[in-house]
A = this chain, B = another copy of it.
Amino acid sequence: MIQQEQRPLYEIKANLFKGLAHPYRIHILEILSSAPETTVSEMIEVTGLEASHLSQHLAVLRRYGLVTSDRRGSVVFYRLAFAQVADLLFVARQLLTELLGSSSEQLSSLGDLPVIALTPPGPTHSAQPATQPGGGW
Contact = CB atoms under 8 A, between A and B. Distances in A.
A137 to B, nearest CB: 6
A93 B137 contact: yes
A43 interface: no
Copies of chain A in the complex: 2
B133 A89 contact: no
Closest 4 CB pairs of A and B: A65-B117, A84-B95, A17-B20, A18-B21
Which secondary structure characterizes the binding site on chain A?
A: helix
Contact of A13 (B56, B89, B116): B89
Contacts of A4: 100, 117-119
23 contacts: A1-B127, A2-B107, A2-B116, A2-B125, A7-B109, A8-B109, A9-B96, A17-B21, A17-B26, A18-B120, A19-B118, A31-B135, A34-B129, A63-B116, A63-B131, A63-B132, A65-B115, A80-B129, A82-B99, A83-B130, A85-B95, A86-B132, A88-B91
A44 interface: no
